Structure 1
Amino acid sequence: MTVESFFVRLHETFTREMAHLNTLDAAIGDGDHGSTMLRGLTKAAAAEDGSRAKAFMRASGGASGTLFGLILIAIEAHLDNGADLTDGLQTACDRICDLGEVKVGDKSMVDALAPAVAALQGGDLAAAITAAAAGRDSTKPLVARRGRSQYVENGGKGHIDPGAVSVVIFLETLAQVKDAA
């Protein structure tokens, strides 16, 4: 299980999912979530030395690059040097909540990440993925309180948050890489 294999597989997954993520984002934002994620992951997958997560952050740019980069830093540290995944993702979640001024129920990536971190306390990545997926799905009836979604009609109510979808993809990809090792 290597950092490189995680980022390569993540890049492959986002290549397949880009159009779908852009469509989800078009309903509640500016329609570029998949493209932005793929741009960052293209650089991260190709990075030869240093932090792939930081390469992602530089290439994807903007607020989303920073916020998703925090999650990728935690996963990268876990894969690279055995850093505690739960602690790393908890730190990422706390920073995302602080920087984005967001909490669970605000229709954001945190709706998937926070329950995943809570489920991961027991060390079960499969339970974390299940919790993240439930959190992702819970965003559909929510009205956004932060981000671009708050400015669309009904705050994006009736649409799943694309950032929450990406969190689930990150965790599913991590599980695939661990299973392949």
Structure 2
Amino acid sequence: MGRTGQHPRSALGRLVADVTLAQLVDWLGRFRDLVTEKQSYLTELDSAIGDADHGSNMARGMGTVMEKLGTPATIDELFKTVGMTLVTSVGGASGPLYGTFFLRIGTTAGAVSGLTYAEFSAALRAGLAGVIARGKAEVGDKTMLDALVPALDAWDAAASAPWDAAFAAASSGRDATEPLVARKGRASYLGDRSAGHLDPGATSTALLFEALAGALA
């Protein structure tokens, strides 16, 4: 069912959503909790190859997001609030990149309260396209894409429980950034010295999919 997008209908004849608005709000809350819990660790990673602010930026940004959410009626309304809040309240590259990711998800999902797995995948893919367009990076550059791209590929390939497959792939992608030499962002200024460190953006992206797995399981 994860790949076909075919789903049973309710008694009223409507498609039964695989991913509901309530689950997506839960996803964001779980992500806020994880980046808050791991704030010091993310900052430690960023202090080695960046500006030492990724942890504080993500924790502050997601905290502000959850304060502003209110009770969204549709998925596009939810992610418009999330995206605009991150773009306007988070410094560095993480605010614009994560903000663009969530904005594109909402635009693609539309004014609905639930999505099939296939529809949610399409929305996530639109978010990925936004990150690529904004960051001008590719897999192997030692950025959040090294976790995000394999996560979405694993989601699409999974025959069941795509959230678990995506989380596992994001975690592997995060780990694979350690030996890489950064080719984008602040870390790229270090050249070969950027090798030997996990990428902070890939690490927070793995947390994003850990939160998603918790919300959808």
TM-score of the superposition, structure 2-length normalised? 0.74
Q: Percent identity?
A: 35
- Stretches of structure 1 that go unaligned for 5 or more consecutive residues are none
- Candidates 37, 47, 63, aligned match of 1:42: 63
Taking the aligned partners of 2:113 and 2:53, their CA distance within structure 1 comes to 30
Query: Contact (CA 8 Å) 2:164, 2:213: kept in 1 or not?
Result: yes
| Residue of structure 2 in register with 1:54 after alignment | 84
| Residue of structure 1 in register with 2:185 after alignment | 147
Superposed CA RMSD in Å reads 2.3
| Residue of structure 1 in register with 2:7 after alignment | none
Does residue 9 of the first structure (1) align with residue 49 of the second (2)? no
Trace 1:73-112 onto structure 2 (pairs within 5 A): 73=103, 74=105, 77=109, 80-82=113-115, 84-112=119-147
| Residue of structure 2 in register with 1:135 after alignment | 173
> Larger Rg: 1 or 2?
2
CA deviations 1:73-104 (Å, max 9, x no partner) are 42895995327221122222222222211100
TM-score of the superposition, structure 1-length normalised? 0.88
Taking the aligned partners of 1:63 and 1:96, their CA distance within structure 2 comes to 11
- Stretches of structure 2 that go unaligned for 5 or more consecutive residues are 1-21
- The size of the alignment, in residue pairs, is 179
Superposed displacement of residue 171, structure 1: 0.9
Stretches (4+) displaced over 6 A: none
Give the 3-state SS of the residue equivalent to 1:121 in structure 2. helix
Query: Contact (CA 8 Å) 2:174, 2:202: kept in 1 or not?
Result: yes
Pick the structure with more helix per residue.
1
- Candidates 18, 40, 51, aligned match of 2:39: 18
Corresponding letter in the other structure for 1:86? S
Query: Contact (CA 8 Å) 1:25, 1:33: kept in 2 or not?
Result: yes
